Amino acid sequence: MDTRLFYRKRQGRSYIPPESSDEDCLDSDDSDLDKTYVPERLTGSQSGDSSSSEENCDEPDEVGVPCVSNTEQIVEPEVGDNLPQAQSPSRCNVPKLNLLWKRNTVKSVFPSPVWTGEIPPSTEVFSPLTYFKKIFDSSIIDYICQQTNLYSKQCDVANTFSVTSTEIEQFIGIAFYMSLIAIPGNRRYWNKKCGVKQVSDVMTLRRWEQIKRYLHFADNTQQHSAPDRLFKVRMVSDMLRKNLSKIPIEEHLAVDEQIVPFKGHSSLKQYNPKKPKKWGYKIYCIAGASGIIYDFEVYSGPVNQPSHLPNVNASGNVVLRLAERIPK
């Protein structure tokens, strides 16, 4: 069987009057009727005489349905006939609406504030490492070094492990480099055949694994009874926000959420199917048109709104908390 004929578009039936018809049940005034209209089967006896057919033609059962006498026949198109299809009268008779659009200017109830700030001009362009050290400064490096050595002693008092601030900087640089050049398995960066010299020449594999084992950002003994899901990174987060607040803020700002991709085991991991990266940490940021982030807040569940800010809703509270960075 030819599938093209089976799945072809259905075509309507054609009304073809007989050539040798002495009596025509349609008046001459109905000559403008669509000849391709598909008549319905007449109910009742089809074997009557010509007089009964004429009576049926004078009084049609339905309005707008042409009557078909017994002497007329309905010819269906054969397969392959390209007959024109009947157009729907409902589409042809719909009048077009001439819409007139008017532009109305919406007047704000509150006057728009005028930006009185000023961004200092850039006299010199520094290297990316210099900009990174302005935000991730030496105080954060020293704090991480201190907490890492403390955690190693808490695990084992007789442990002789000790790390320096320079090694912490090298560890962070290797972590950034691994995110740019992806190799399956951390140990392969030190492989002789497929290794990366920018990693293997800076630190040995054994030393890198030791620092990764004891890397810590908070003292576990200082955790209070109140649950804080960000206790492990709370101090580092606050220090980063403090350094970001030193950047002169610009005029055009926006608050939006950002997903940091992560699929490991963590209670802070979120799932959003509408994002390009569906799994990861959710961070609310206030950023400018230049792409600089001036403040952020890591999502860790419901947060109590400060007393000096109105409580509107979950999304609005985040905007109000981050908008405190903006001058009044």
Q: Return the amino acid letter for 221.
A: T
pLDDT score of 207:
95
pLDDT score of 204:
94
pLDDT score of 284:
95
pLDDT score of 85:
52
Distances, alpha carbon 107 to alpha carbons 112, 114, 317, in Å: 11, 16, 26
Q: Return the amino acid letter for 153.
A: K
- What's the distance, CA 220 to chain centroid? 38
pLDDT score of 303:
87
Distances, alpha carbon 123 to alpha carbons 120, 126, 290, in Å: 9, 10, 17
Distance (Å, whole) CA 10 – CA 82: 11
Q: Which residue reads 């963590």 in tokens?
A: 266
Can you list the positions of beta strands (E) in the chain?
A: 14-16, 73-75, 253-261, 270-271, 279-288, 293-298
Residue length of the chain? 328
pLDDT score of 38:
52
pTM for the structure as a whole: 0.64
Tell me if 216 sits within 8 A of 148, measured CB to CB. yes
Question: pLDDT, tens digit, for every residue of 71-95?
Answer: 444 444 454 445 455 555 555 677 7
Question: pLDDT, tens digit, for every residue of 234-267?
Answer: 999 999 999 999 999 999 999 999 999 999 998 8
Say whether 145 sits in a helix, a strand or coil: helix
Half-sphere exposure of 19 (CA within 13 A, CB side): 0
Tell me if 140 sits within 8 A of 218, measured CB to CB. no
Q: Which residues of the chain have pLDDT under 50?
A: 21-35, 42-77, 79-81, 83
pLDDT score of 10:
58
Tell me if 241 sits within 8 A of 253, measured CB to CB. no
Reported for 181-186, long-range contacts at CB under 8 A and 24+ positions apart, including other chains, are none
Distances, alpha carbon 282 to alpha carbons 122, 262, 274, 278, in Å: 32, 10, 13, 10
DSSP string, 57-117: HHS-SSTT-----TT-EEEPPPTT--PPPPPPHHHHTPPPP-------PPPPSSPPPPP--
